[in-house]
Amino acid sequence: MTTNEHNTLSETITTYFTSIDAGDLRTTMSLFSPTATFTVVTAGNVTFTGRDAIQAMLDDFITQSTSMEHRVMSMIVDEKAGKVATQQRYIGVPEDGMQRDMLNCNFFDMDDKGRIEKVLVWMGGGSPLG
């Protein structure tokens, strides 16, 4: 079995979302390559480069949320190109107590080991990231 088969890529991205929702940053970060980038396009193209920067950003996001859920509505996997696209609802409550319910799209590029190498995020509302 190769690392960029359809089911493997799908499982990696499903684990990405469920581990963030559970606050399991250790699992989340194990999915990223050491040189990964994470860009929030709708927050002025802010980019986090490398695991440490991505972990710090996600840690802030998790810490500043009293609850969150990512409901993946659709996922498209291109195993030949090592790419995954998702559309998901983010329902979360940050520290300010104002529930956010946003429709977002993420685009993932995977490396040859099946790890997340690049993430591009478009959010339908104010960004809780970055």
Closest CA to 15 of 63, 64, 52, 70: 70
- For residue 43, the model assigns a pLDDT of 83
Number of domains in the chain: 1
Which structural domain, as residue segments, surrounds residue 34?
A: 6-123
Q: Would 128 be classed as within a structural domain?
A: no
- For residue 89, the model assigns a pLDDT of 95
Q: How far apart are CA 14 and CA 27, in angstroms?
A: 12
For 124, the 3-state DSSP assignment is coil
With a CB cutoff of 8 Å and minimum separation 6, the contacts of 6 are 77, 79
Domain CATH code at residue 50: 3.10.450.50
Splitting the chain (130 residues) into consecutive groups of 10 residues, what average pLDDT does each group show? 78 97 96 97 92 96 89 96 96 82 96 96 69
Q: Would 130 be classed as within a structural domain?
A: no
- For residue 1, the model assigns a pLDDT of 38
- For residue 15, the model assigns a pLDDT of 98
Q: How far apart are CA 97 and CA 116, in angstroms?
A: 31
- For residue 49, the model assigns a pLDDT of 98
> Which runs of E-coded beta strand occur in 51-125?
65-78, 83-94, 100-110, 116-123
Neighbours of 19 (CB within 10 A): 18
- For residue 112, the model assigns a pLDDT of 92
pTM above 0.75, yes or no: yes
- For residue 73, the model assigns a pLDDT of 97
